[in-house]
């Protein structure tokens, strides 16, 4: 997310990240005890000064999870 904010905040702009609305657009890959989840998070970029234009975009990234044994079946960020 830091990369997304840095890229979209160049110049004078405000970036709004909507963490409450992630979406999953690719199949999760599981290799052994590691899962790769591909998710997207919507963002809005509002250029300044005095602009009311909102440029919507989606930032897609890969999250790596590791399987936990206690409790069984749970996954945790790697």
Of 50, 48, 64, 40, the closest CA to residue 14 belongs to: 48
What's the pLDDT tens digit per position in 7-62? 666 666 677 777 666 667 778 889 999 999 888 777 777 777 666 666 677 777 78
Q: Taking the model in full, what pTM does it have? A: 0.53
Q: Which residues contact 4 (CB under 8 A, 6 or more apart)?
A: 15, 17, 41, 43, 59, 61
Among residues 31, 5, 29, 34, which one has the least CA distance to residue 17? 5
- Helices of type H across the chain: 2-8
């Amino acid at each position: 997310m830091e990369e997304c904010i840095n890229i979209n905040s160049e110049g004078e702009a405000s970036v709004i990240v909507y963490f409450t609305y992630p979406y999953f657009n690719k199949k999760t890959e599981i290799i052994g005890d590691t899962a790769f989840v591909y998710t997207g998070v919507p963002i809005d970029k509002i250029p300044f000064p005095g602009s009311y234009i909102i440029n919507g975009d989606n930032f897609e990234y890969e999250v790596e999870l590791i399987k936990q044994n206690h409790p069984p079946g749970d996954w945790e960020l790697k």
